[in-house]
Amino acid sequence: MSKKANTNVNTSDFQFKNTWETAFEDQEFIKTFSTEILEDYILKKRWYAGKSSTLKYIEVVDHCKLSSDKNTYFGVLIEINFSEAFFQDYFIPVSFIPGNKENLETGTIIAPVTFQGVEGHLIDALHIEDFRIVVFNRIMGYSGENNHKKILFHRSETMKPMKYESSGFMGGEQSNTSIIYNNSLVMKFFRRIYTSKNPDYEISRFLTEKSNFKNIPAYVGSINLDLDNGDTITLALMQDLIENEGDAWKYMLEELKSVFTNIEKKKIKVKKLPAISLYQRQPINSIPPEIIDFAGLNIFLKVSKLAQRTAEMHIALGSDMQDTAFTPTKYNGDYAVWLKNRLIYMFQNRLNTIENNMHKLDGEALELAKEFLDKKKEIREHFLNFNWTRMKSERIRIHGDYHLGQVLVDHDDFYLLDFEGEPESTIQDRKVKQPPLKDVAGMFRSFHYAIYSTIFNNDGSFSTSQEDMFEAGEVLYKYMIGVFMETYVHKVQAENLNIGYKQEIEFLLDYCLLEKAVYELGYELNSRPRWTIIPLRGIASILKNKKN
């Protein structure tokens, strides 16, 4: 390969002696591709998760080849190594398109290149319709040469094959890239990959093919790569496209805006709102009239419906007695050690973060941060105080990153999605069976965030003082939890999913809520310090509740 100055728009920077079809057989190309071409390209991509670390070098660890009548495509697995002594793996499908830039069907270019005198551009193949057609047809089972026998294209038996009609990108670029097919299916290509089946693929397929739970985008098909050592990498997941009115986070913010407007509109006396204790189960038909006057009935009906769908998800995930990946299991010493080590590591990380960022805080947030540091011994002991021998409930596979943003709203119903798990966790940790109440705690934290987000983002709609809104918000939060608990606990216990009895349920909720709130601290301190008050208030409330 020779490299020359870019003298005009039609001349490429990178020139190679081999053909595109044999590119990944040539070590010179691979070296230039990984050290010069990719480094420039990948740092700018939103799905690249290493922006806060120092890139050391990129290595091409494997590739697979797909061909159509028009083009040859390579699926490239790369390992990005960082100076901080860790690495991340990514998947990039690549195409070479000859000709001028003006003739391309996309502006997303990896680099201008020349193969054996043929000038053109390396393109992320997802931006080429022909590539999207190739993978669609392979999943549907239509004929086509599979140049790489380790690529596993799968279509669910629940899905009848369909012909390709159209494809296009779904929304903006995120941590993964989603393609809409035929206006009825969505294919999620995982950018950051793991040497294991992706939990989103595993759980979506299980719930579709082995359970009666219908409130998810049904599993349609997938692309996996079998490695020589027996490991499997999930490259893409295809599911039904759910007609929806947006996610539950947006829905809840609109609902809460209306609720808080009522304080002034209906002259609600915040100090006289009847409060309930945290986790107290609250049937909707016995909510005090003062609370209904303040919040209305609809928000509680929706919370109850979401609780029902959450319970049904957990019942389904704990229903299989044959597939060991989904069989409920008891607590044991190994789990307790794993849990404590993980949480103490996270807690120490958050302690360091808050100590280094105190200068960003003021007012109540600063006072609560000081209180958090004063109580660090108590919080650490709380995390260490997990006595597995006293646990009578069972652990199951769970969603793992459950919040309002992972729920779609369709009329009066909810659909649950994105089962990849907590982004900070390793792929192995995401697959550990955990208490289903961890998902419940995640949703409760999301309720808390929605309430505070509504108060913080006051666009002039509220004339009520922020102090009164905080007070009313805390009362509302406990009723939302109470309604959720009434529906959820009744449903799972009726279906014999063992979540324990009252004392164990409340211990697990305290434990998981504190874990979630401490987890949130890191993000808020680094991204939006003003919002640090939300997890800090949550932590203070949990610690206070634990003592009562």
Instruction: Quote the CA–CA distance of 302 and 307 in Å, as a whole number.
Output: 9
- For 132-143, the pLDDT digits (tens) are 999 999 999 886
Residues in Cβ contact with 89 at an 8 Å cutoff, skipping those fewer than 6 apart: 61, 77, 78, 79, 80, 192, 193, 194, 195
Residues in Cβ contact with 102 at an 8 Å cutoff, skipping those fewer than 6 apart: none
**pLDDT band per the 50, 70, 90 thresholds, residue 161:** very high
Helix (H) or strand (E) holding 414: strand 413-416
pLDDT of residue 527: 81
pLDDT over 90 percentage in the chain: 72
pLDDT of residue 547: 62
- For 318-330, the pLDDT digits (tens) are 988 888 889 999 9
pLDDT of residue 145: 52
- For 103-118, the pLDDT digits (tens) are 787 878 999 999 999 9
pLDDT over 70 percentage in the chain: 96
Is 307's pLDDT higher than 70?
yes
Q: pTM for the complete prediction?
A: 0.91
Residues in Cβ contact with 38 at an 8 Å cutoff, skipping those fewer than 6 apart: 58, 78, 92, 110
Enumerate the β-bridge partners of residue 2: 15
User: For all residues of the chain together, what is the average pLDDT?
Assistant: 91
Provide the 3-class DSSP secondary structure of residue 515: helix
Q: How many CA atoms lie within 13 A of 191 on its CB side?
A: 18
pLDDT of residue 8: 37
- For 206-222, the pLDDT digits (tens) are 999 999 899 999 999 99
Using alpha carbons, list the distances in angstroms from residue 11 to 28, 35, 62, 122, 518.
Answer: 20, 21, 29, 13, 53
**pLDDT band per the 50, 70, 90 thresholds, residue 3:** very low
Is 9's pLDDT higher than 80?
no
- Residue pair 319/503 in contact (Cβ under 8 Å)? The answer is no
Task: Specify the DSSP class assigned to residue 70.
Answer: S
- For 380-402, the pLDDT digits (tens) are 999 998 999 999 999 999 999 99
**Rounded mean pLDDT of 249-261?**
95
Residues in Cβ contact with 103 at an 8 Å cutoff, skipping those fewer than 6 apart: none
Using alpha carbons, list the distances in angstroms from residue 177 to 124, 191, 388, 404.
Answer: 11, 7, 40, 21
Pairing of strands 413-416, 118-124: unpaired
pLDDT of residue 173: 62
- For 93-106, the pLDDT digits (tens) are 999 999 888 778 78
- Residue pair 240/217 in contact (Cβ under 8 Å)? The answer is yes
Is 4's pLDDT higher than 80?
no
- Residue pair 49/192 in contact (Cβ under 8 Å)? The answer is yes
Provide the 3-class DSSP secondary structure of residue 183: coil
Residues in Cβ contact with 160 at an 8 Å cutoff, skipping those fewer than 6 apart: none
